[in-house]
Amino acid sequence: MRRVLPVAGLVLALLWLVVPLAPVLVWAGAERWSYPDLLPGAWGVTGWRDAAAAGLPFALLRSLALGLAVAAVATPLGVMTGRVLGWRLTGRPRLVVAALLVPLVLPPFAVAMGLDVVLIRVGLPELVSVVLLLSVVAIPYTAYTSATAFARTSPELEAQARALGATPRQARLRVVLPAVRGSILVAALLAFLVGWSDYVVTLLVGGGQLVTAPVLLGAAASGSGNDAAVAAMALATLVPPVALVTVAALRVRSSGRTAADRLPESVPPEERMR
């Protein structure tokens, strides 16, 4: 009984996590799937062909560009803020934390709706506006991730580099940044995911001109009736972020294991686990 409960729990947990995505996986390879059959009557790539004809490849490229642009803007801003928070360089950390909570609390659609009216008057290009707004949405994630990394890294590191003759810029770029590189990559990944996954801000501020993969999927899912093409679009939108996160997680896990292996035997198992 003691072993059955965790195994049953694990199976139920995996079912909860995986089953909601199963229809997309099956439909993406279905040529014909009549009701009420439990499996497709014929397999094929018609859905992929229809999705490609609807503009999926270019939509994926636009999503990639948007994700990279958001990561490029939000990561440095978040790292700078995270350094201040992690090393407690400010006398008013609550003010910084409160400002970082704003994009998490305010619904993005409300901010986007207001900005849209302003941006029409200012004449800022839609793409720039979308990148700007999504970067602001991503900054809390990049800042908190960086803050955790800086909190684990001693500020003395920078001071020692300065004492050895490094300029402030050299100390940051050649000593501090390599020490927190892993977390900065995770922060950039989170910012990329914000840009890649967004639907409502891109649609509202982009005015329908910026057709990313989620925007294309939203249009198809709400009215095309072509389930195979919709599933192909969904799967194509799903794979890149999931693959990136999986690779990042495996890399972090393997580097963590290597670091744990380097600890001396005298270190207690609990400390090694930490």
Partner 1 sequence: MTSRGAGGAAPGIVAITVVAGTGMAAVVATSVGLMPLYGEPAPSLDGWRSAAPDLVAGIGESLLIAVPATVLAALVGFLLATLMLGGGRAAAVLRLACLAVLAVPHLVGATSVSLLLGDGGVGARLAARAGGDGWPALVGGSWPVATVLELAWKESAFVALVVLAAVAPGHRMRMQVAAGLGARPVQRLVRVLLPTAAPAVGAASLVTLVYAIGSYEVAWLLGRAVPEPLPVLAFRLFGSIELTDRPAAAAAAVTGSVLALCVAVPALAALPRLRALSSGGAP
Min CB(178)–partner 1 separation in Å: 18
Q: Contact, 153 vs 180, CB < 8 A?
A: yes
The token pair at 216 is: 């294309």
Q: Is 182 in the site for partner 1 (CB under 8 A)?
A: no
Q: Is 61 in the site for partner 1 (CB under 8 A)?
A: no
Please identify which residue in the block is written with the tokens 């995996």. 14
Q: What is the CA radius of gyration of the chain?
A: 23
Q: Contact, 206 vs 126, CB < 8 A?
A: yes
Residue among 230, 241, 143, 239 nearest 198 (CA) = 241
Site for partner 1 in 67-126 (CB under 8 A): 77-78, 80-81, 83-85, 87-91, 96, 99-115, 117-118, 120
Min CB(145)–partner 1 separation in Å: 12
Helix (H, G, I), strand (E, B), or coil: what is residue 145?
helix
Min CB(164)–partner 1 separation in Å: 19
Please give the full DSSP string across 49-71, using - where no structure is assigned.
Answer: HHHHHTTHHHHHHHHHHHHHHHH
Among 14, 163, 173, 177, binds partner 1 (CB under 8 A): 14
The Cα 145–Cα 252 span in angstroms is 14
The token pair at 98 is: 């409160």
Selected range binding partner 1 among 41-49, 50-58, 240-248, 259-267, rule: CB under 8 A: 240-248
Selected range binding partner 1 among 51-59, 64-72, 180-188, 245-253, rule: CB under 8 A: 245-253
Q: Is 10 in the site for partner 1 (CB under 8 A)?
A: yes
Site for partner 1 in 123-162 (CB under 8 A): 132-133, 135-136, 139, 143
Q: Is 4 in the site for partner 1 (CB under 8 A)?
A: no
Q: Is 74 exposed, middle or buried (0-12, 13-18, 19+ CB in 10 A)?
A: buried
Min CB(17)–partner 1 separation in Å: 5
Selected range binding partner 1 among 35-43, 44-52, 54-62, 180-188, rule: CB under 8 A: 35-43
Q: Is 263 in the site for partner 1 (CB under 8 A)?
A: no
Q: Is 191 in the site for partner 1 (CB under 8 A)?
A: no
Min CB(114)–partner 1 separation in Å: 3
Looking at this protein, which amino acid is placed at residue 100?
L
Q: Is 253 in the site for partner 1 (CB under 8 A)?
A: yes
Smaller CB separation from partner 1, 163 or 250? 250
Smaller CB separation from partner 1, 9 or 57? 9
* CA atoms 177, 180, 183, 185: torsion sign: positive
Q: Contact, 138 vs 67, CB < 8 A?
A: no
